[in-house]
Amino acid sequence: MSSTQSLILGATGLVGNELLSLLLEKENKVSLLLRRKLDLKSKKIQQIVLEELDSMTLEHFKGVETVYCCLGTTIKTAKTKDAFKKVDYEYPLMAARLAKEAGVKNFICISAKGSSIDSAFFYSQVKGELERDLKAVGIEKLHIVRPSLLIGERSEFRLGEAIGQLFSKSVLPLLKSVLGTYSPIEAKKVAFTMWELATYGMHTSKNIEVESRK
């Protein structure tokens, strides 16, 4: 794999897609690790298609400065809790360990607001477990981004988020002072926050929770 500044996991998702668009403006080359090839024609993009992401190897991370992990699914889509955990826990952790071994400087991963190993909700438990174990990997600079409900155009329809988006457009703007960091946030803003963390080591967003380990 040739040298590249950034590698995205989950570029087909809501935040990943926004991040890809942003990086194509900011950088000369972006690598993608994904299961299906995107219909994009740009000399800046290097698409590495794997049948399954557990086929990731050390070579995929060599020469990379920043890994953006935007992987995530739902139990409805994954069908089982084990399948969900593979996407939201096993793959990100595997990528972090390979990134560490390859000498990647920055690892920036999307988690979720309310993530906790002590949560009563399976989704939040898994996110909490991921955060705990990512911190133990020992990457030089780890940034965990915890957005609330995401707003944006998604190829995969999610009823809960769709309702949330409709609600947010009419009522939630009036309650921002009360909801604070629980207010819905545009995926584009989350992507920009991730880029800021990689570029400057800090971010300017006031309503995205971030934990950084340096």
CATH number reported for the structural domain that contains residue 180 in this entry: 3.40.50.720
- The count of structural domains within the chain is 1
For residue 153, what pLDDT is reported? 64
Helix (H, G, I), strand (E, B) or coil at 125: helix
What is the rounded distance in angstroms from the CA atom of residue 54 to the CA atom of residue 161?
A: 28
The tens-digit pLDDT sequence of the chain (214 residues) is 445 699 999 999 999 999 999 999 999 999 999 999 999 889 999 999 999 999 999 999 999 999 999 999 988 999 999 999 999 999 999 999 999 999 999 999 999 999 999 999 999 999 999 999 999 999 999 999 999 888 876 544 444 444 444 444 455 455 454 455 567 889 999 999 999 999 999 999 888 999 998 8
Residue-range definition of the domain harbouring residue 124: 4-213
DSSP state of 74: -
Q: Which residues of 173-212 are buried (b: 16+ CB within 10 A; e: fewer)?
A: eeeeeeeeebbbbbbbbbbbbbbbbbeeeebebebbbbee
Place of tokens 């890994």: 67
pTM above 0.75, yes or no: yes
Neighbouring residues of 121: CB distance < 8 A, sequence distance ≥ 6 = 114
What tokens appear for 152 in the block?
Answer: 């944006």
For residue 158, what pLDDT is reported? 45
DSSP state of 90: I
Q: Shortest CA distance to 109 belongs to which of 130, 124, 129?
A: 130
